[in-house]
A and B are shown apart, each in its own frame.
Chain A
Amino acid sequence: MSTNNFLQEIIESLPASHRNVMDKDTAHLVIHHNEVLGAHLVPGLDVQAEPIEDGVNIKIRVDKGTVIEKPVHMCFGMVPEEGLQKIIINAVIEEDAAIEVLAHCTFPNAIDITHLMDATIHLERNARYSYFERHIHGMKGGVKVVPKAKVYVDEYARFKTEFELIKGLVGDIDIFYEGFVKREGVMDMMARIYGRENDRIKINETCHLEGESSRGVLTSHIACRDRTNASVYNTLTATAPFARGHVDCKEIVQENARAKAVPIVEVAHPQAHVTHEAALGSVDSKQLQTLMSRGLTEDEATELIIQGLLN
């Protein structure tokens, strides 16, 4: 298959609203395996993508004070059924700069694909970084996804990330994020995953609230059906005055699935405050009966509640 065909298949696998990633006025970066198929930058945004053996080493810099108006699109994919893709990202969002990234990771035909991501992200003082990553997998479940990130949030900076995997089978996912937040900084991490069949989901997120009045929120909403196995390990530590944090883990468990949540909240300053809530189990009975009293079958009602949770 030629590079052009790969590009076309990757674009076609995206949701209709995102197929314009290659437009001239949209900053973008499209990578297939270890090849850059398309790249377009805007002033103040510097991206260097260097192919390595099984992937790409990407350096991203947003210049001091640059606010990138439109979301930057990134697309990582593998069209073949098998292979390894390794994405190494080093991002620096300089002081007062702001960027929003919409990333799609697409493996529409995967039978045995491993996608590794290793990111180091540094938000300088008062920088903003919002990163949304949507995965599109096929229905064969042959993807192993291992995203790792270390995030440094400086004073007054805000980091927000959302990870979504609700279309296609998860396969095997192992998320490992760790963040360090300084004074008045904010870290907000959200994962929404729909596990089916033999999917295996593991989330390990840690946020260290080290600066005065820093904020952290770790949210995981997971639906587990069939024989899915999901474990969520969330750690939140607060060691500075007025640091505030919250861990929220909701897992709907159906059929023969198994779910586990291990929240660790640790406070080492009397003026810090962290909370956690975890709810694991079947769909709430009142929610279910209400929808059934409108004529939905139990399955239809369950599906609607799950879609809401993952919305």
Chain B
Amino acid sequence: MGILQVKDVSLKLGDKKVLENLSIDFWEGHIHAVVGPNGAGKSSLAYAMMGLPEYRNHEGDIVIEGSSIKSLPVDERARLGMSLAWQEPARYEGLKVDTFLKAGSRGSSRTTDEALDMVGLEPEVYKYRAVDKTLSGGERKRIELASILMMQPRIFLMDEPDSGIDMSALQKIFEVISMLKKQNTTVILITHSLEVLRHAEHAFLMCHGKLIDKGTADKIIYYFENNCLPCDHQNQPLEEEIS
């Protein structure tokens, strides 16, 4: 049984079916990748798992260690050990990086200097800057990751960890992912990148809100090789979609 289970989840936002009968098991201490084209519903799945207000009104169930978390708001899910690094993280006027990082740390022994070092940002340069629009996109993403490292969740959802990240920083992020694996963190990477996918032990391919395929990263790599973008899976039977 997975530590985190998505059970037959369907979600409509406005008139749009964003997730359709989606079932996925995520295993404790394993690294997972969720891949799929733009608009497939990957971020929506992450938001539904995290419990964001508009995404809680879904059918089916989301379960952590056998207990439904469907009725729990974001902060209670976080206190159960789940967190999300956002695809495009929020900016905060006036809030210092140091304060932002400490906010979620709740008794963790890691210092803000250590967390910034781990994502390849010099603490002296970044600690007292604000988490505002003066940070570049890549810097902000790395600070988001550092904030998660401060929190040390058991289940970590990372929405597009590599978007806007340069090559050397990406290596740092892979180091962080390996370290999380050693610490038995359950990692869920949402990605478009073949390189990120290669770091996963299990992969799930989504399209139009549905799960199209799952298996090892190697198995799902065909999605990239066949340049499955954009796709028109929606009205076709599953078997045809994969062939």
Are B95's CB and A304's CB within 8 A? yes
Interface of A is mostly: helix
Are B93's CB and A309's CB within 8 A? yes
Knowing A297-B75, A298-B75 touch, does A291 contact B104 (C-beta < 8 A)?
Answer: yes
Knowing A295-B104, A298-B75 touch, does A290 contact B90 (C-beta < 8 A)?
Answer: yes
Are A289's CB and B74's CB within 8 A? yes
Are B103's CB and A304's CB within 8 A? yes
Are A293's CB and B93's CB within 8 A? no
Query: Is the CB of B79 closer than 8 A to any CB of chain A?
Result: yes
Could you say which of A284, A292, A304, A305 contacts B74, with CB atoms under 8 Å apart? A292
Are B92's CB and A294's CB within 8 A? no
How far is B99's CA from A137's CA once the two chains are assembled, in angstroms?
A: 26
Query: With a CB–CB cut-off of 8 A, which chain A residues contact B93?
Result: 221, 250, 308-309
Query: With a CB–CB cut-off of 8 A, which chain B residues contact A308?
Result: 92-96, 99, 130
Query: Is the CB of B151 closer than 8 A to any CB of chain A?
Result: yes
| Selected interface stretch from B81-89, B211-219, B226-234 | B81-89
Number of interface residues of B (CB under 8 A): 28
Which residues of chain A from 231 to 270 have a CB within 8 Å of any chain B CB? 250
Query: Is the CB of A296 closer than 8 A to any CB of chain B?
Result: yes
Could you say which of B84, B91, B92, B95 contacts A293, with CB atoms under 8 Å apart? B84
Query: Is the CB of A3 closer than 8 A to any CB of chain B?
Result: no
Interface of B is mostly: mixed
Which of B53, B78, B93 is the most central at the interface, judged by chain A CB atoms within 10 Å of its CB? B93
Query: Is the CB of A24 closer than 8 A to any CB of chain B?
Result: no
Residue of A nearest to B132 (CB): A308
Which of A285, A296, A300, A301 is the most central at the interface, judged by chain B CB atoms within 10 Å of its CB? A296
Query: Is the CB of A311 closer than 8 A to any CB of chain B?
Result: yes
How far is B130's CA from A301's CA once the two chains are assembled, in angstroms?
A: 16
How far is B94's CA from A301's CA once the two chains are assembled, in angstroms?
A: 14
Query: With a CB–CB cut-off of 8 A, which chain B residues contact A297?
Result: 75
Query: Is the CB of A101 closer than 8 A to any CB of chain B?
Result: no
Shortest beta-carbon distance from A284 to chain B in Å: 7
Shortest beta-carbon distance from A27 to chain B in Å: 28
Are B92's CB and A295's CB within 8 A? no
How far is B151's CA from A296's CA once the two chains are assembled, in angstroms?
A: 11
Are A295's CB and B79's CB within 8 A? yes
Query: With a CB–CB cut-off of 8 A, which chain B residues contact A289?
Result: 50, 52-53, 74
Query: Is the CB of A175 closer than 8 A to any CB of chain B?
Result: no
Are A295's CB and B94's CB within 8 A? no
* Contact bitstring A271-311, B, C-beta under 8 A = 1, else 0: 00000000000001111011111111110110011011111
Are B75's CB and A290's CB within 8 A? no
Knowing A291-B103, A293-B84, A295-B104 touch, does A305 contact B92 (C-beta < 8 A)?
Answer: yes
Query: Is the CB of B66 closer than 8 A to any CB of chain A?
Result: no
Q: How many A-B contacts at CB < 8 Å in the complex?
A: 73
Knowing A298-B75, A308-B130, A311-B95 touch, does A293 contact B83 (C-beta < 8 A)?
Answer: yes
How far is B125's CA from A262's CA once the two chains are assembled, in angstroms?
A: 38
Shortest beta-carbon distance from A296 to chain B in Å: 6
Query: Is the CB of B106 closer than 8 A to any CB of chain A?
Result: yes
* Contact bitstring B143-173, A, C-beta under 8 A = 1, else 0: 0000110010000000000000000000000
Are A311's CB and B94's CB within 8 A? yes
How far is B53's CA from A285's CA once the two chains are assembled, in angstroms?
A: 9
Are A292's CB and B94's CB within 8 A? no
Residue of A nearest to B88 (CB): A286
Query: With a CB–CB cut-off of 8 A, which chain A residues contact B106?
Result: 295
Could you say which of A291, A293, A300, A307 contacts B50, with CB atoms under 8 Å apart? A293
Could you say which of A290, A295, A310 contacts B89, with CB atoms under 8 Å apart? A290
Residue of B nearest to A306 (CB): B94
Shortest beta-carbon distance from B108 to chain A in Å: 11
Query: Is the CB of B73 closer than 8 A to any CB of chain A?
Result: yes
Are B99's CB and A292's CB within 8 A? no
Which of A304, A305, A308 is the most central at the interface, judged by chain B CB atoms within 10 Å of its CB? A308
Are A294's CB and B78's CB within 8 A? yes
How far is B92's CA from A307's CA once the two chains are assembled, in angstroms?
A: 10
Shortest beta-carbon distance from B9 to chain A in Å: 19
Shortest beta-carbon distance from B130 to chain A in Å: 7
* Contact bitstring A86-127, B, C-beta under 8 A = 1, else 0: 000000000000000000000000000000000000000000
Which of A289, A307, A311 is the most central at the interface, judged by chain B CB atoms within 10 Å of its CB? A289
Which of A286, A294, A301 is the most central at the interface, judged by chain B CB atoms within 10 Å of its CB? A294
- Known pairs A286-B86, A289-B52. 11 more at Cβ < 8 A? A285-B53, A291-B103, A292-B75, A293-B50, A294-B78, A294-B104, A295-B83, A304-B95, A305-B95, A307-B94, A311-B130
User: Can you give 30 contacting A-B residue pairs, CB < 8 Å?
Assistant: A221-B94, A287-B90, A287-B91, A289-B52, A289-B74, A290-B86, A291-B104, A292-B75, A293-B50, A293-B75, A293-B84, A294-B78, A294-B83, A294-B147, A294-B148, A295-B79, A295-B83, A296-B103, A296-B104, A304-B103, A305-B92, A305-B95, A307-B94, A307-B95, A308-B94, A308-B130, A310-B94, A311-B95, A311-B96, A311-B130
